[in-house]
Structure 1
Amino acid sequence: MENLFEEKLQLWLEKVVEQCNTLGEKINLDYYPFQCAKSSLKKNVDLLIIGANPGGQNPFKKRNTEQLFNSVDGINNAYIGEANNDRWKINKPILEIFKEPKLYSVLEKAIVMNTVYFGTVKAIDLSTRKEAIECCKELTKEFIYEIIRPKAVLILGLKNAPNWLGIKYSTTTDSILRTTNNLTGLVMKVNHNNIPHYIIHHTSMNFKFNSGENLDLKREIFQKEFETILKF
């Protein structure tokens, strides 16, 4: 079974390189799917964290299968590896949510990736590059639902990544955590392809939903959720 998984994974990586090198050269954009090391790609991993697409907008660079991983030290995912980088704001709320020892262990082993692999200054800039969205979203769905099958998925952002992955949810009826005034859903949960998906406001923005009391509430709910899912 392990050999079959490795074979399917390698074929998928080769497909990414083939399709994204061709498209990347055409639209002149660099790309990478992962913000973690290749060693993180384990079948049935406890957690997969996914956002819209990489920030920045670098020109095309031809890549091979070993160059699809953006890990600072080649070992840790971006949240762990960039923990002391004050300029990288996206990881601070994640580190706070997962700071309890058992949750931190889940974060350490997590796969961190993008739904669309081509980098733009803002995700909205992909609206003029529909072919990039179409190409990558199908590859990503294949990776998550046919190859890895994680025990849980955490989606950063309420709009782009869920839409591209075909995940329908309501910020009211699917919210498992709301602000204390009950006006805003903080954590939404849906089962998609028999995998629990958690959707939260993107952690690089939406400061009021990713700080203070709201962040404490998120940490508490994820502690409870993962105690149930992972039975720790």
Structure 2
Amino acid sequence: MNDLFNQNLNRWLREVADGCHEIAVNPAYDMDVDFYAFQSKVSYQPELMIIGSNPGGNEKYSEMNRKRGRERRGADDLGVCDCNQFLANDGWGSMRSLCDLFSGGVLRLVFEEAVVTNVVYFNTGTFRELQQRMNRGGREALRFCVGKTMELIRDIVRPRHVLLMGNPARDHLTTYFDKPLQPLLVTCVEGWNLIRETTIDGIPTYCIHHPALNRKFNTGENQELKRKMFETIFS
């Protein structure tokens, strides 16, 4: 299985590098935006795969190539590394609540071994900035990346659980849900959703508010409620 997994992953990495490069350099698309796919190592059937919106930052692809003295990003330069980068980089600022959520004896081990990616690989400062390009290359970037993310889930990584962070990750994968989202955990007083659940290709899938936004849902009692629920799920 390891040989087959590595073959499939290497093929996927080449296709993503080539596809994103072609989008970024196409003058008709106006998508001179840098890209990468992962913030972690990539393994077969990890306990958890975490999918966010898109990488932060506003680097131009042409400028990053110039700075690094390269012609283009290759398959070996898509962010695959030997550890969870949120832990290695002290939560990357506004995402510290994600590290806080996956803390403790049970969840920290799950988080350390999780595959971390995004539904789109192009790195605008916010997802809204990508949405503003929907009449240009953004539409093609979204179509391509969503398709490759689903291929990653179904055919290559096959995680035991999937966590979708924020509305863009949820909304752009909704068409692949096996069933409508159902509330799994709500706030004690207002009854607002903290965790909703469905499945993707039979894989248990959970949706939460984006950890960098909606402070009310990512701190205090609500954060503790989510942590306890995920401890139950992963125990």
TM-score range (shorter-chain normalised) is 0.7 to 0.9
1-side partners of 2:91 and 2:21: how far apart?
Answer: 33
1-side partners of 2:91 and 2:84: how far apart?
Answer: 13
Aligned to 2:69: none
Tell me how far 1:167 sits from its aligned partner: 4.6
Q: Equivalent pairs: percent with the same residue?
A: 33
Going from structure 1 to structure 2, the CA distance change for 1:205 and 1:186 (only over 3 Å counts) comes to same
What's the secondary structure of 2:76's corresponding residue?
helix
Going from structure 1 to structure 2, the CA distance change for 1:94 and 1:221 (only over 3 Å counts) comes to same
2-side partners of 1:215 and 1:164: how far apart?
Answer: 25
Show the 5 A alignment for 1:1-232. Answer: 1-26=1-26, 27-36=31-40, 40-60=41-61, 61=65, 62-69=72-79, 74-83=81-90, 88-90=93-95, 92-127=96-131, 128=133, 129-157=138-166, 159-165=167-173, 166-168=175-177, 174-227=182-235
CA contact (8 A) 1:116 1:136 kept: yes
Moved over 6 A (4+): none
Aligned to 1:230: none
What's the secondary structure of 2:195's corresponding residue?
strand
What do the CA deviations read for 1:21-44 (whole angstroms, capped 9, x no partner)? Answer: 1111221010001111xxx21111
1-side partners of 2:110 and 2:232: how far apart?
Answer: 13
What do the CA deviations read for 1:26-64 (whole angstroms, capped 9, x no partner)? Answer: 21010001111xxx2111111111101111221114211
Tell me how far 1:182 sits from its aligned partner: 3.8
CA RMSD between the two structures? 1.6
1-side partners of 2:151 and 2:91: how far apart?
Answer: 33
Going from structure 1 to structure 2, the CA distance change for 1:163 and 1:142 (only over 3 Å counts) comes to same
Amino acid across the alignment from 1:53? N
1-side partners of 2:18 and 2:201: how far apart?
Answer: 27
Work out the number of aligned pairs and report it: 215
Tell me how far 1:84 sits from its aligned partner: 6.5
Name structure 2 gaps, 5 residues minimum: 66-71
CA contact (8 A) 1:156 1:199 kept: yes
Going from structure 1 to structure 2, the CA distance change for 1:84 and 1:223 (only over 3 Å counts) comes to closer
Name structure 1 gaps, 5 residues minimum: 228-232
Amino acid across the alignment from 2:144? C
What do the CA deviations read for 1:57-77 (whole angstroms, capped 9, x no partner)? Answer: 21114211111017xxx4321
Shifted more, 107-116 versus 180-189: the winner is: 180-189
Amino acid across the alignment from 1:139? K
Amino acid across the alignment from 1:25? V
CA contact (8 A) 1:170 1:188 kept: no
Question: TM-score, normalized by length of structure 1?
Answer: 0.88
